[in-house]
Amino acid sequence: MYRIALKMLFRDRAKYAMLVCGLAFCSLLMCQQSSVFCGLMMWTTATVRNIGAPVWVVDEKVEQANEVIPLRKIEVERVRSVPGVAWAVPLYLGIEQARLSDGSFQNIQLAGLDTGTLTGRPMTLREGRIEDLRLPNAVVVDQVAVEKFRRKGIKIQLGTTFEVNDKEARVVGICQSNRSFLGQPYVFTTYDRALEYAKPARKQLSYVLAGPIPGVSPKELAARIDRLPGLRSIEQDDLFWLTVWWYINNTGIPISFGTVVILGIVVGIAIAGQTFYLFVYDNLRYLAALKAMGARMPILAGMVLLQAFTVGFIGYGIGVGLAAWFGNVVLAKEQPPFYMPWEVPAFVAAVIIFICGFSAVIGLAKIARLEPAVVFR
Amino acid sequence: MNTPSPKIAVRVRNVVKSFPSGDSRTYALKGATLEARFGELLMIVGPSGCGKTTLLSVMCGTLGFDEGDISVFDHDLRRMKDGQITRFRCENIGFIFQQFNLIPTLTAAENASVPLVLNGVRPSEAERRASRMLAEVGIGEKAGSYPNQLSGGQQQRVAISRALVHEPRLVICDEPTASLDAATGQKTLELLKSSALHPDRCVIVVTHDNRIYHFADRIAEMEDGRVTGIYDNPKDYHHA
């Protein structure tokens, strides 16, 4: 009977197309918007992921990774004094202005890495050598800088120079990094040179990065450092989620994206639910005939569920496929943000299952109440 | 010499069936009693609203009843559970409906194969047997056509094929000629009588189309929820 159920579904082309389109649109809307939201959240945590250190030490009032309250240089030594610390290095992070050779400006995210160890160096270097950062005026720029400068007609390559606060910077490497929330390119240099590029200030240390000795977990180390007065110590994963939750709680981003996702669910339920109900309603007479001919309720329920979940599966596949295609296109252009972790398609699948189940149950309720004798009326 | 009494296929005794109607109940059957025999075409006739269709519905177990007894092939419907009745219907009863009730998105062969599939026959085998059945009723070349591509008479032939394909012992027909013109109605009954009637099978036809009464072996007349007369010769009913 299940083959017959599928034939009944596929050959009712108008309703089949409507059901698949409705569910595909619903899946696309939820998947695309959730992925853009996740992408945006990933942008907010770009610094944490670009630098990368087991434990981040900040001022005790700092609430998330993009909030910098400068520390005294002495804090590095204070952190090093905590039992269980294998190493602790300074990190400068600030937004500076780069002046290009044609006189135009570009805001950059300047990262000053510990000169000796270059802790927090970019993971992937497309061109150049990271050790060359120790050369005079050397900086490593990311692919965002190359793209932004290219749009301004300037080709960035090894040896290209520009100015940061009137001081020369020479490109010795091009790296791959995660894009920041505000879209400024990352420019990596050494900590000491970063302080030269930065505007003078009484305190200039942004973060202390620390790592534990063997046998001490980053979480445990963070807890120990956290006991130092005036400092807050956060393990990398915690800082990531702290930042994400800060943006969720303090901005309108989740509301706007959540509204669209809810809209997707409502549209899905309305279109799919109503169309499927109509599909069942139109077939009610034939289902009653099947019931009269000896089709038991579990068989009819199986037929209806198969029909509902078949359109759900196809609609879901098309919707998520389109969202992935959209993601591929925008990832090539780097805007808007797009990140589809497995939880997004899983969430969309759960919603589609709910919608299909809901639609099927409405139809089944009608069938369950159906007297087979109606076929004689 | 005594002739052996005919075997009874369906026995209905003093069956009462009522439906709620506001605060009161409307009685559709008020003690109907009837017997249908193997190897005969029994017509149940009577004016609209006399309870013909209700009697048909309770006889095949698609509708429950309040009082009385119904046995089909010696199975007491009152003692059977819903699931058992459904299974029994599936295996033993073929249906021909007034509106044909052919599923519009299935071909003639697929429609006719439904009872076989319900009885667990593989779909490919069921369709093969259904196509053979369609050929037997004269529309073998239409096996791949959809109901909307068939005339009323052809649709009724598909319905007959569907009713007979699983070789049921009881065939129930509800107003089989109501949606057909006179000539097609006659042909349909001829076909039904020639292909459905069998010594081990009983055919019960509910109708108020007096042009087909002569096809009956016996006629049961109903009025006001009761069987008021049984005519062993259809001509007697005409004269009655």
Q: Kindly report, residue by residue over B143-152, the tens digit of the pLDDT.
A: 889 998 988 8
State the Cα–Cα distance between residues B84 and B66, nearest whole angstrom: 19
Contact between A371 and B56 using a beta-carbon 8 Å cutoff: no
The pLDDT score that the predictor gives to residue B239 is: 45
Report which of A125, A119, A98 is spatially closest to residue A109, judged by C-alpha positions.
Answer: A98
Reported as a pLDDT band with limits 50, 70 and 90, residue A120 is: confident
Higher pLDDT, A149 or A335: A149
Residue type, A358: F
A56-60, A98-102, A206-210, B188-192: which range is least confident on average?
A: B188-192
pLDDT, tens only, A303-358: 889 998 999 999 999 999 999 998 888 777 777 788 888 999 999 999 889 888 88
B60 phi-psi bin (left φ>0, alpha ψ -120 to 50, beta other): alpha
Q: What is the mean pLDDT of residues B19-34?
A: 86
Reported as a pLDDT band with limits 50, 70 and 90, residue B138 is: confident
A107-116, A196-205, A235-244: which range is least confident on average?
A: A196-205
Does the pTM of the predicted model rise above 0.80?
no
Asked if pLDDT for residue B4 goes beyond 60, the answer is no
> Phi and psi at residue B228, in whole multiples of 5°?
-100, -10
**CB of A298 closer than 8 Å to CB of A364:** no
* Cross-strand partners of B71: B11, B76
DSSP one-letter string for A89-152? EEEEEEEEEEE-TTS-EEEEEEEEE-TTT-TT--SEEEEE-GGGGGSTTEEEEEHHHHHHHHHT
The pLDDT score that the predictor gives to residue A210 is: 93
The pLDDT score that the predictor gives to residue B82 is: 83
Asked if pLDDT for residue B72 goes beyond 60, the answer is yes
Q: What is the mean pLDDT of residues B128-151?
A: 87
Reported as a pLDDT band with limits 50, 70 and 90, residue B3 is: low
Asked if pLDDT for residue A92 goes beyond 80, the answer is yes
Say which of A283, A299, A376 has its CB closest to residue B53.
A376
β-pairing, B202-207 vs A231-235, is: unpaired
Asked if pLDDT for residue B142 goes beyond 50, the answer is yes
Which residues in chain A have Cβ-Cβ distances shorter than 8 Å to B86?
291, 294-296
Tokens of A79: 């952190």
Average pLDDT of chain A to the nearest whole number: 87
**CB of A82 closer than 8 Å to CB of A74:** no
Ordered by where they begin, the domains of chain B are 8-239 (3.40.50.300)
pLDDT, tens only, A189-236: 999 999 988 888 888 899 999 999 999 999 999 999 989 898 999 999
State the Cα–Cα distance between residues A125 and A39, nearest whole angstrom: 23
Best residue in B84, B86, B113, B172 to probe A by mutation, most A CBs within 10 Å? Answer: B86
Instruction: Report the C-alpha dihedral over residues B161, B167, B170, B173, rounded to 10 degrees.
Output: 0
Average pLDDT of chain B to the nearest whole number: 85
- Name the closest residue on chain B to residue A300, using Cα atoms: B118
How many residues would you count in chain A? 377
- Whether the CB of B90 is below 8 Å from some CB of chain A: the reply is yes
Say which of B53, B106, B123 has its CB closest to residue A8.
B106
State the Cα–Cα distance between residues A258 and A263, nearest whole angstrom: 8
Asked if pLDDT for residue B5 goes beyond 70, the answer is no
Instruction: Report the C-alpha dihedral over residues B221, B227, B233, B234, rounded to 10 degrees.
Output: 10
* Cross-strand partners of B100: none
Asked if pLDDT for residue A182 goes beyond 60, the answer is yes
pLDDT, tens only, B101-123: 888 989 999 999 999 998 888 98
Asked if pLDDT for residue B129 goes beyond 50, the answer is yes
Residue A148, CA distances (Å) to A62, A108, A152, A185, A198 in order: 30, 11, 7, 8, 21
Alpha helix segments (H runs only) across chain B: 52-59, 82-92, 108-118, 123-136, 152-164, 182-196, 234-239
Which residues in chain A have Cβ-Cβ distances shorter than 8 Å to B72?
none
Higher pLDDT, A376 or B160: B160
Asked if pLDDT for residue B208 goes beyond 90, the answer is no
